[in-house]
Structure 1
Amino acid sequence: MRILLTGGTGLIGQALCRHWQQHGHELWVWSRKPQQVPQLCPGATGIAVLDELNGSAPFDAVINLAGAPIANQRWTEARRQLLWQSRVDLTRRLVDWMGRQASVPPVLISGSAVGWYGDGGEQQLTEASAPGNKDFGSQLCVAWEQEAEQARQWGVRVVLLRTAPVLAKNAGMLARLLPSFRLGLGARLGDGQQWMPWIHLEDQVALIDYLLHNQSCEGPYNACAPQPVRNAEFTRVLAQELGKPALFHAPAWALRLALGEMSVLLLGGQHLIPLRAQQAGFSWRYPDLSEALRDLLHKA
């Protein structure tokens, strides 16, 4: 297959490139820094602007994972604009480009996030649940998906991937947590009762590949493990796998003071079920948190 990716140099994108390269697919990555693509995504071709592809052979799929990191900085007005531009505006440009092609790519898998649901409290959430729409993160995801949905007018099969925090060995959320946990300073966030969806990187890649190749799959899919945990349980299991105590907690008031509205990413949660992936027949390699962390922390 000929596949075009955005966000190909990110955590998920790099893993997808490695997987698809092994299966002989031809990969192009639209990137702000195309010169870095060969190093980060061996075998892929980097492009700076979509028009470089005009007149090329048709693409079989477009995978849209681009977006500036949402949890790295406070949501100042400037940061909000960057987050919006790197997701909503970029997706609009991508879909417009797809519609101008003589042969429109037949499938678009477009990233979103579990933040689409906002803070769901104790409610069990599936893809049929309503969006949060209260905080900026939820509003961002809703607008992001709406832009991707516009590709349907070209007859494109659109898949929306509402991704939970991805667990990976040397990057992402786990990499940020490990230094403090290895020192025995792991802490639950607030009261620790907020639900915390998650997914192992291998399952994230496998799910995207599964949705790509199954023509009946379209619409939203929760990309998360089928066994969500509360934050206190995640903290306990991670500390246990490291053989360390986890006696501390970060007070909710301190997180709100430090992070402002962005604190919803830590203090809010989603009791999320990947119902549509289950119904589609997808099988997780790491459905259990202990098994997932054991693989990532102890495998050579």
Structure 2
Amino acid sequence: MRILIAGASGTIGTALVQQLSGAHDVHRLVRRKPAGPDESYWDPSRGEIDQAAIEDADAVVNLSGAGIAGGLWTRSYKELLYSSRLKPTRTLVDAMIRAKNAPAVFISQSASGYYGDRGDEVLTESSSSGATILADICRRWEAEAHRAPSPVRVVTPRTGIVMTRGGGALPKLLLPLRLYGGGPIGSGQQWWPWITMTDQVRAMEFLLTAPVEGPVNLGAPEPAQVGTIVADLGNALHRPSTLRIPEKVLKVLGGRLAYELLLVSARMEPRVLTGAGFTFEQSTSRDLAAWVRASLAT
């Protein structure tokens, strides 16, 4: 399968390219002069793309988007969070509409932020969207993807908190634990829809051919409360995990960013994914802790 990836240089993109290479013909979209036959130029800010890259692709994977935690949520950065997702998705879909040979599948990233802050409510793919900024971004992001022409099969993975040593939440949890200063974030009772990078890229490869479309929750089948995740990581590292970071402190330091990134609760379950036959390698927070311990030993 020839797979065209937008956002291949990001944390998930890099891991996905590694997962797919060998079994598939992986092609990257880049915003500079292409350095080889496996790269094609595009400039989504101007709606420009090498049309041949779309015509030749069996599948397109869209991972474009500025990092949610890439800066304080000033007005300009919030605008960037929107534009860096909507413009690339629009550029890809418009190219598919023009294509004589559109790809069979379009996997366009979304996020668990779609659901907003929902407490203990169990969230499936049919659950309504939330009232946060990230929820609004995800709604608009998915709407752009679903403009793709028939018969393109559109999948919008609502990815949870991806656990990887390469960035994101995990290193920020591990550092204070290693220094004997770790503990729950806020109340510790908020649900985190976590997923290891191993299962993230396996699931995305699975979705290339699985007979599903529309939203797909990408989170471990047993989401966990933050306090449980931190406690299990602490046990794996043989470190205490009792020093709580108060919610008020987080909001003073990080404002809206801290709230939407760390304090919202999304008890998300991957019912479409497991119903299609996907099996997770890490399903519980204890599995996560064992996976982290093993990765630290290598």
Amino acid at match of 2:162: V
Kept in 2: contact 1:159–1:220 (CA 8 A): yes
After TM superposition, the score normalised by the length of structure 1 is 0.91
CA distance in 2 between partners of 1:51 and 1:225 (Å): 35
- Give the drift of 1:298: 2.4
Kept in 1: contact 2:106–2:155 (CA 8 A): yes
Kept in 1: contact 2:51–2:99 (CA 8 A): no
SS of the residue 1:213 aligns to: coil
Q: Which residue number corresponds to residue 278 of structure 1? A: 274
Moved more, 288-297 or 231-240: 288-297
2:247 is equivalent to residue 252 of structure 1: yes
CA distance in 2 between partners of 1:34 and 1:291 (Å): 42
Q: Which residue number corresponds to residue 52 of structure 1? A: 50
Q: Which residue number corresponds to residue 25 of structure 2? A: 26
Amino acid at match of 1:73: G
List gaps (5 residues or longer) in structure 2. none
Q: Which residue number corresponds to residue 206 of structure 1? A: 202
CA distance in 2 between partners of 1:239 and 1:54 (Å): 50
Moved more, 165-174 or 222-231: 165-174
Kept in 1: contact 2:109–2:159 (CA 8 A): yes
Kept in 2: contact 1:27–1:45 (CA 8 A): no
**Which of 149, 171, 178 matches 2:174?**
178
Kept in 2: contact 1:99–1:154 (CA 8 A): no
The percent identity for this pair of structures is 35
Alpha-carbon distance change, 126 to 47 in structure 1, aligned in 2, over 3 angstroms:
same
Kept in 2: contact 1:2–1:58 (CA 8 A): yes
2:9 is equivalent to residue 9 of structure 1: yes
2:160 is equivalent to residue 164 of structure 1: yes
Kept in 2: contact 1:118–1:268 (CA 8 A): yes
CA distance in 1 between partners of 2:89 and 2:172 (Å): 28
Alpha-carbon distance change, 34 to 258 in structure 1, aligned in 2, over 3 angstroms:
farther
Alpha-carbon distance change, 51 to 170 in structure 1, aligned in 2, over 3 angstroms:
closer
Kept in 1: contact 2:221–2:270 (CA 8 A): yes
Q: Which residue number corresponds to residue 295 of structure 1? A: 291
Kept in 2: contact 1:196–1:231 (CA 8 A): yes
Kept in 1: contact 2:40–2:50 (CA 8 A): no
**Which of 87, 90, 108 matches 1:89?**
87
- Give the drift of 1:44: 4.5
SS of the residue 1:5 aligns to: strand
CA distance in 2 between partners of 1:162 and 1:107 (Å): 16
Cα offsets for 1:8-52 (capped at 9, x unmatched) = 1112111111121121x22222233567x88xxxx9425344533
Flag as ranges the 4+ runs of structure 1 deviating above 6 A.
Answer: none
- Give the drift of 1:55: 7.5
**Which of 214, 218, 224 matches 1:223?**
218
CA distance in 2 between partners of 1:83 and 1:11 (Å): 17
Superposition RMSD in Å: 1.9
Amino acid at match of 1:99: I
Aligned residues: 291
Alpha-carbon distance change, 121 to 34 in structure 1, aligned in 2, over 3 angstroms:
farther
Cα offsets for 1:128-147 (capped at 9, x unmatched) = 10000x11111001100000
Q: Which residue number corresponds to residue 125 of structure 2? A: 127
Amino acid at match of 2:273: A
SS of the residue 1:29 aligns to: strand
After TM superposition, the score normalised by the length of structure 2 is 0.92
CA distance in 2 between partners of 1:34 and 1:196 (Å): 40
List gaps (5 residues or longer) in structure 1. none
Kept in 2: contact 1:112–1:163 (CA 8 A): yes
Kept in 2: contact 1:168–1:200 (CA 8 A): yes
SS of the residue 2:208 aligns to: helix
SS of the residue 2:81 aligns to: helix
Kept in 2: contact 1:169–1:297 (CA 8 A): no
Q: Which residue number corresponds to residue 142 of structure 1? A: 139
